[in-house]
Amino acid sequence: MWPDPAFGDAGAMSVIEVTDLRKSYGGRAAVDGVSLAVEEGEIFGILGPNGAGKTTTVECVEGLRVPDAGRVRVTGLDPVADHARVARVLGAQLQQSELQPKLTVREALELYASFYPRPLDWAPLAERLGLTAQLTTRFARLSGGQKQRLFIALALIGNPRVVVLDELTTGLDPRARRDTWQLIEDVRASGVTVLLVTHFMEEAQRLCDRIAVIDKGRVAALDTPAGLIRRSAGATVISFTPSAPLDDGELAALPALASVDRKEGRITLAGTDETVNAVITLLARHRVTAHQLRVVDATLDDAFLDLTNTDTKADTADTADTADTKETAS
């Protein structure tokens, strides 16, 4: 889809350009030389373990933080020096923020719409986000999911060219999460560029055209979701229960094999398509039947764990399930 997965379309000006960004808090580098470019009309994901520097990076893009070093440009403008102009084209949904407790949903939408020169009509937007029944509800009385949807609406109300969504679907139930994904795809289809910070692999895999995996303040990999998966050692996983024992040595000799695992008579192999073909040949040669044969592509999860550091593995596996873990960088 993109000419060069790492740098996008080199001819056009990128909507967001981050070059060698650095930001430290109290001597600890939160962002340590991040470079990336987000092209017009794409959904660009930033993925990484907690505290990797994802939020700090997007806060520099939003103009909320002043970088220690490096260059940030949004539609060619400096988000700090040219704040007002950048704010008019950039809609933001922050990871942790609230509104005045007694402000109603409708008042919030009208207020934020008044900040922009060409805002969207708030009523259809509220309907798209399922907030029509809550228009007269005060912010403090909204559920977590309703608050989240309101903040997505506020990010879009200014009719922005680019939206930055930080932990977009955190706090949403699975159905609302899927609805929100559809909404983001619609938003992109209308020509808006999306920068998405997430720790949900499924979300990144489903939505993103390209993903930057950030770890310890640096870009560990930048590619399409499929490209990231291909990079991981075991891109294809074959599992089966053989009708007769198979020789370990023969399994280990399979081409492009990344790992072998035996558990309760079931064999799980990670490798490539080449490995799959070789396994089938091996089974046929020994006239062994493979019960419950499954061949699945590795997920972004596997690629992510490969790319980010080993000592964070347990941590990141957890965060894929627990919705409310927060990055502690700020």
Partner 1 sequence: MSTAVLRTEVRLFRREPGAIFWILLFPTLLLVILGSIPGFREHQSDLGGLRTIDVYVPVAVLLGLIVGGLQSMPQTLTGYRERGILRRMATTPVRPSALLSAQMAVYGGAALASALLALVTGRLAFGVRLPEQPLGYLLALLLAVLVALALGSVVSALSRTTKIAGAIGSAVFFPSMFCAGVWLPVQSMPHLMARIVDCTPFGAAAQALNQAAAGHWPGWGHLGVLAAWILLLTGAAVRWFRWE
Contact positions vs partner 1 (CB under 8 A):
62-64, 83-84, 87-88, 90, 92, 94, 96-100, 102-103, 107, 110-112, 114-116, 151, 154, 158
Residue 36 C-beta: closest distance to partner 1, Å: 20
Residue 59 C-beta: closest distance to partner 1, Å: 9
By C-beta, is 84 or 296 nearer to partner 1? 84
Encoded amino acid at 3, one letter: P
State the CB neighbour count (10 A cutoff) for residue 250: 13
Residue 120 C-beta: closest distance to partner 1, Å: 14
Q: Give CA separation, 296 vs 29, 250, 303, in Å.
A: 39, 22, 14
State the Cα–Cα distance between residues 73 and 14, nearest whole angstrom: 9
- For CA atoms 56, 61, 62, 65, give the dihedral sign: positive
**Distant-in-sequence, close-in-space partners of 173: CB < 8 Å, separation ≥ 6:** 145
By C-beta, is 115 or 281 nearer to partner 1? 115
By C-beta, is 118 or 285 nearer to partner 1? 118
Residue 166 C-beta: closest distance to partner 1, Å: 11
Q: Give CA separation, 306 vs 71, 130, 213, 229, 301, in Å.
A: 29, 38, 11, 10, 9
By C-beta, is 144 or 255 nearer to partner 1? 144
Residue 139 C-beta: closest distance to partner 1, Å: 10
By C-beta, is 99 or 172 nearer to partner 1? 99
Residue 164 C-beta: closest distance to partner 1, Å: 8
Q: Beta partners for 118?
A: none
State the Cα–Cα distance between residues 98 and 103, nearest whole angstrom: 11
310-165-121 Cα angle (round to 5): 165
Torsion of CA 107, 110, 175, 312, to 10 degrees: -90
Concatenated DSSP letters for 78-98? Answer: -TTTTHHHHHHHEEEE-SS--
**How far is residue 113 CA from its own chain's centroid?**
27
Q: Give CA separation, 187 vs 76, 163, 190, in Å.
A: 22, 9, 5
Residue 193 C-beta: closest distance to partner 1, Å: 16
Q: Beta partners for 240?
A: 267
By C-beta, is 31 or 90 nearer to partner 1? 90
By C-beta, is 111 or 251 nearer to partner 1? 111
By C-beta, is 92 or 258 nearer to partner 1? 92
Residue 132 C-beta: closest distance to partner 1, Å: 21
**How far is residue 288 CA from its own chain's centroid?**
42
- Residues 316 and 84: beta-carbon distance below 8 Å: no
What are residue 233's phi and psi, to 5 degrees?
A: -60, -45
By C-beta, is 88 or 128 nearer to partner 1? 88
Encoded tokens for 330: 């700020």
Residue 98 C-beta: closest distance to partner 1, Å: 4
